[in-house]
Amino acid sequence: MAVGIFDSGLGGLTVLDAAQKRLPDVDFLYYGDNARAPYGVRDAEDVYQLTKAAVHDMWDKGCDLVILACNTASAAALRRMQEGGLPQGKRVLGVFVPLIEALTERQWGDNSPPREVEVKHVALFATPATVASRAFQRELAFRAIGVDVEAQACGGVVDAIEDGDMILAEALVRSHVDALKRKMPHPQAAILGCTHYPLMEQTFQEALGPEVKVFSQGSLVADSLSDYLTRHPDMYGSGAGGFYTTGNPGRVSDRATQFLRREITFQAA
C-alpha cells in the first residue's frame, strides 16, 4: 500500500518527511520530476501536461491517491485534472487547501460558505508561476471574505535550495521579504507557498518579525492527509513505496540525502 507524493524536484520531501512522522505505518511513493525542475518558471500548460503525465505514472505504480506536494503543480494542474474527470478509484489532492483551512481556522474538509476571519492581511511567498496563477487567492475566496493577500514572487530561491547554496537562498529570502514589506508593511500572517520554503522558515520568520505568524506546509498537509485517510480508508493504494526520479538517480539521491539528513535512494522512474 502506498500513497503518492509528487513534486517537480526535492521540495516535496519536506511534505514526505512530515507525513512519514505523522503516519509511520503508511508507505509512501515519492516521485520527483527532477529532469524538468523547476516548474516555477514554466507556463501553466507545460506544468499541467508534465504533472498529468507524472500522476498517471504514479497511478500505474499503484498509488490510488497522489498528493501534489508542489504548489506550482497544484496551481496549474489540480483543478483542471479534477474537473476533467479522474479514473475510477483514483484521487489527486493539492497542498493549498490544508494551508488555507489552517489560516481560516477551519476543520479539515470543512466546505461551508466563506465567512469573516480574524486574519485580514496575508503575505504570500511563492514561485512566479504560482503567483501568476492566483490559485491561492481563488481557493481562499471559497473559504474567507475580507482578506487582503499580497503576493511576492520569490525568483531564484528554489534553484538555490536545489543547488545546495543556502547562503544565496537566505539572501534571496531576505530580499523578497523586503520587497513584500514595501507593498504590505504590516502583514498579520505569511504563507510559505512552496514546499522548498520550510527549509528557510527561520529566515522568513526573522525577516518578517516575531509578530507575523508564518504558515508552512509540511505538518499541515500531513495532518490533513491523516484526517483524509481516516475518512477514506480505501485510498491507501496497492503499490509499494519508494523513491523515483526522472533525473539522474545517483545525483538526486545525494541531494535528497543532504536535504533530509538521512540516506535516500532514488531509482529511475
In sequence order, the 6+-apart residues with CB closer than 8 A to the CB of 153 are: 126, 127, 128, 131, 132, 176
Phi, psi of 32 (to 5 degrees): -110, 125
Helix (H) / strand (E) containing 223: helix 217-231
CB-count exposure of residue 119 (10 Å: 0-12, 13-18, 19+) = middle
Residues in the chain: 269
List the beta strands (DSSP E) in 23-64: 27-32
Phi, psi of 157 (to 5 degrees): -65, -45
State the catalytic residue, choosing from 37, 70, 184, 199: 70
Question: CA–CA separation, 51 vs 147, rounded Å?
Answer: 30
CB-count exposure of residue 257 (10 Å: 0-12, 13-18, 19+) = middle
Question: CA–CA separation, 133 vs 72, rounded Å?
Answer: 9
CB 190 within 8 A of CB 125: yes
The set of cell numbers assigned to 183 is 507593498
- 63 catalytic? Reply is no
Q: Which residue has the cell 506544468?
A: 47
State the catalytic residue, choosing from 54, 131, 177, 194: 194
Active-site residue set: 70, 194
